Every structure is written in C-alpha cells, then in structure tokens.
C-alpha cells in the first residue's frame, strides 16, 4: 500500500514502514534512476510476498503430551531464481517479522548477484526449552508440513537464529524420504560437511562481516589496528566476525554480549578463550577472568569506534545512536538491527553504516557455493571457497560505494537501489 500524499512517498507493508526498501524506492523515484519501467505498480508487487505458508505443527513432547507450535515460511520473490532464506527458531517469531526478513533476502541475494530470490522461515518456539529429540521431531514435522513448497529448485532453507548444521541435516534427511530423485542434498544449505555441507560455511557470515569491515576501513582511511570494537551477540555470526576481526585485522574487541550477559575489557578480550568459557558455563560470560562483567545492554553504550550488532533486529535504537561518541563504523551483522530513528542520528554524526543486506551476505554466498557443489557432486577446497567469497563480497562492496558516490546517497540506499534494479529488470524481462 502506498501513501501517495506523503512527500517522502512512505511505503508501508501491513501498516508498518518497511524502512530499508522505502528509502531506496524513494531515492529511486526522486532520481528517476531506472526510467519509467520501475513504476508504482511494480514496486507494490515487489513489496507483496508471493506465498505465505502458515502452519500449526503438533509436537509430541518427550512426556507424551502434544504441543501445538506455530510456524511460517514466507516466499517473497523468485524473479532471479529459487526462493532462499534461513529458518529461525525463536519464541518471539511472528508472521510480520518473517515477511520483513523474506523481503530482505530478495534484496540481499540480488545485491551480491547470486541466482536466488528471497524467503524466510520462523518457528515460534524457544528450542533451548526442548530436548534434542523434541527439536529433531519438530524439524522433521516442519519438513513434512512444508511438503513440495521446498526443493532444490523451489525454495532452499538455511540456518538462522537458534538453528544449526544438525537441524539442516534433519531437514535434508526428512525431505530425501519423499524426494529421492535429482539432488535432494541441495534442498537445504548450511549442512554439516559430512552430509554435503561446504567448507567455510560455518564462519562464512562472520567472515563476510570482517571483509566489509576491512573494506570500510580502506574507504574511510581508518587503520583497524587502532580501532576498538564492541560485538552484541556471540553466536555463529558474532563469534566468527569477532574472531576474524581480532586475529586477521588486529582490532581490539573490547566488549561482547550474548542473551545471558556481557563482558568488557578496554585492553581487549581474547575472543577464542571467551567462547570456550561461554561454552563451558551454560552460555554465561559472567566470571570470565579476562574482563569485567557489565549489564547486558550496556554493551551497546560502550565507547568504541566500531559497533557490530550480531543478535536480533532493532537493537541499535535512538538512545544507542544518541549516546555514540567515537563511533565511526556500524557493521550491521544481524538482519535489520538499526531503527530508522537511529539510522538518521548516526548518519548525521557521519558514521559509516554498512547495511545488513551487504554486511551479512557472506552466509548466503557460501550457501550458494554449497548448493552448486551439491548439484554438481563436486566439492571445493576451503581455500577456493574463501577466495570466491572474497571476490563476491569485495565486488558487491565496490558496487555499493561507487553508486553511493555517484548519486551522493548513503550506502544503505545505494545497496537497495542496486538490488531493486536487478530484481525489477529480471521481472520485466520475464514478462511481468
């Protein structure tokens, strides 16, 4: 739905502003970047999800009782290739969030120029409250509910918050029982290496974040060795990003938080030792000898040059943005972690914001490599995966910087303008 009266051409989805796409669409219209073909009707189509699957999955608990679990798979767009996007297990998952994330995936896959569309899945449950066998039964039931709506050339799920390679292996296993023809391995990415996974997939998103950081430092004339970094979220993305930024780029990681606690050391934390500590202390960072404990959300208020939100969306709000004094680079490792208000404040302060569609695209790029390897049954070395990932991330980063300079717009807007152009062209060529 478009509010034509608004000067900023406010773009809304179910009454909620879809901020990222909105800003790009507004720029697109003001600058008339793509001629007349990208018109209101096309944009309206692009903000409507192609298919939304709503499920209630009866989960048999270990004690024999039944728990109904709500689950969603939203397929936003497949103009450039099969739907692609992670599956999240989280008790706060809801349909609107899944729609927004599916939408984001379309722009992300287009931005890094891989032949996919966008989708996302969510299961409204906290898997930490379930046993191993309950999570397995839930995952297998999800796959049977999804039926033919997923497949190697239809829709290819991947890990996201609280889902991991083990869960991806269960997805493949359940799917392969009813789909033995073709390449059932390619139905899902992020699998363990022993079950068709790719070298380098586990750390791919974090590595992509680190590559963006390195490129942003070059662009802004900053020396990473002189910068202090705070990381919110110490899971797959946050941990690997922090580890590579510390080890390969030499920045100091001064603060780390997770859902349980946060830790701070102005002299720098040893990220690998901290991870080992968290793993052996039920995820708690409290009591880690190499730093001092701070309240979890104070992490976002630490004085630092680089902030890496790598947990959930909307973490960087107006209060965080107003408080930022030394911040130079915001690396959006999580999906959509910055509110529109915070974005405006940080933009005013001259902070270089690397939008999530670019910053965390490393995961879906290596997912694409995994899919290609599964289809060809020919597996790459770790070195080849990293080399190809580097090339794609650096190219996408360069494309965004060049457009931002040329049009005098922010990196977020440039990223969305590029993606929009690619998706719209594919739709038009296909006869939309």
DSSP letters along 306-373, please? EEEE-SSTT-B-HHHHHH-SS--EEE--SSS-B-HHHHHHHHHTT-EEE-HHHHTTHHHHHHHHHHHH
Answer yes or no whether residue 232 interacts with ligand NAD by CB under 6 A.
Answer: yes
Residues 6+ away with beta carbon under 8 Å from 360 = 108, 205, 208, 209, 237, 332, 333, 334, 335
Total chain residues near ligand NAD (CB under 6 A): 24
Conformation bin of residue 166: beta by default, left when phi > 0, alpha when psi is -120 to 50:
alpha
Answer yes or no whether residue 261 interacts with ligand NAD by CB under 6 A.
Answer: no
According to DSSP, the β-strands at 252-257 and 155-159 are: unpaired
Q: Which is nearer to ligand NAD, 118 or 159 (CB)?
A: 159
Q: Which is nearer to ligand NAD, 283 or 341 (CB)?
A: 283
Active-site residue among 84, 120, 191, 328?
Answer: 120
Site string for ligand NAD, 152-171 (x = CB under 6 A): -------xxxx---------
Give the SS3 label for residue 378.
Answer: coil
Identify whether 120 is a catalytic site residue: yes
The token pair that represents 336 in the structure block: 């959509």
The token pair that represents 298 in the structure block: 């104070």
CA angle, 38 then 39 then 40, to 5°? 135
Which listed residue (211, 256, 312, 329) binds ligand NAD by CB under 6 A? 312
Answer yes or no whether residue 393 interacts with ligand NAD by CB under 6 A.
Answer: no
Q: Footprint of ligand NAD on residues 67-126 (CB under 6 A)?
A: none
Which listed residue (47, 103, 205, 338) binds ligand NAD by CB under 6 A? 205
Q: Which is nearer to ligand NAD, 305 or 332 (CB)?
A: 332
Output the smallest distance, CB 101 to ligand NAD, in A.
7
Output the smallest distance, CB 335 to ligand NAD, in A.
4
Output the smallest distance, CB 181 to ligand NAD, in A.
29
Q: Which is nearer to ligand NAD, 28 or 163 (CB)?
A: 163
Q: How far apart are CA 307 and CA 189, in angstroms?
A: 29
Which listed residue (103, 257, 339, 373) binds ligand NAD by CB under 6 A? 257
Residues 6+ away with beta carbon under 8 Å from 348 = none
Residue numbers at the binding site for ligand NAD (CB under 6 A): 159-162, 205, 232-238, 257-259, 296, 310-312, 333-335, 360, 363
Catalytic residues: 120
């Amino acid at each position: 739905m478009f509010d034509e009266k608004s000067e900023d051409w406010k773009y809304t989805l179910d009454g909620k502003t879809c901020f990222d796409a909105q800003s790009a669409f507004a720029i697109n219209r003001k600058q008339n970047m793509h001629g007349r073909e990208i018109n209101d009707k096309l944009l309206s189509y692009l903000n409507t999800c192609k298919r939304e699957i709503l499920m209630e999955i009866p989960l048999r608990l270990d004690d024999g009782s039944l728990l109904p679990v709500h689950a969603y798979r939203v397929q936003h767009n497949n103009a450039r290739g099969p739907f692609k996007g992670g599956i999240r297990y989280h008790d706060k998952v809801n349909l609107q969030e899944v729609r927004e994330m599916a939408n984001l995936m379309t722009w992300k896959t287009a931005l890094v120029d891989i032949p996919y569309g966008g989708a996302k899945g969510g299961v409204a449950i906290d898997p930490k409250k379930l046993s191993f066998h309950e999570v397995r039964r839930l995952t297998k039931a999800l796959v049977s509910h999804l039926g033919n709506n997923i497949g190697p050339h239809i829709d290819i799920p991947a890990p996201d918050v609280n889902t991991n390679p083990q869960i991806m292996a269960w997805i493949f296993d359940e799917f392969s029982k009813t789909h033995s023809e073709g390449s059932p391995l390619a139905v899902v990415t992020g699998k363990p290496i022993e079950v068709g996974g790719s070298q380098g997939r586990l750390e791919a998103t974090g590595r992509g974040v680190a590559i963006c950081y390195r490129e942003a430092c070059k662009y802004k004339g900053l020396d990473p060795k002189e910068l202090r970094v705070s990381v919110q979220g110490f899971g797959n993305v946050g941990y690997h990003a922090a580890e590579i930024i510390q080890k390969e780029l030499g920045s100091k990681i001064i603060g780390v938080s997770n859902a349980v606690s946060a830790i701070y050391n102005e002299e720098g934390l040893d990220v690998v030792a901290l991870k080992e500590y968290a793993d052996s202390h039920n995820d708690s960072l409290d009591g880690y000898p190499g730093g001092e404990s701070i309240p979890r959300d104070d992490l976002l208020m630490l004085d630092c040059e680089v902030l890496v939100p790598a947990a959930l969306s909307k973490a960087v709000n107006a209060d965080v943005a107003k408080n930022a004094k030394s911040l130079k680079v915001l690396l959006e490792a999580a999906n959509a972690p910055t509110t529109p208000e915070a974005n405006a404040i940080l933009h005013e302060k001259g902070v270089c914001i690397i939008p999530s569609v670019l910053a965390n695209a490393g995961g879906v790029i290596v997912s694409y490599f995994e899919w290609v390897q599964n289809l060809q049954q020919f597996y790459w070395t770790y070195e080849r995966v990293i080399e190809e990932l580097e090339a794609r991330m650096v190219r996408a980063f360069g494309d965004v910087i060049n457009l931002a300079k040329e049009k005098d717009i922010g990196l977020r807007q440039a990223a969305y303008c590029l993606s929009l152009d690619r998706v719209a062209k594919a739709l038009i060529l296909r006869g939309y």
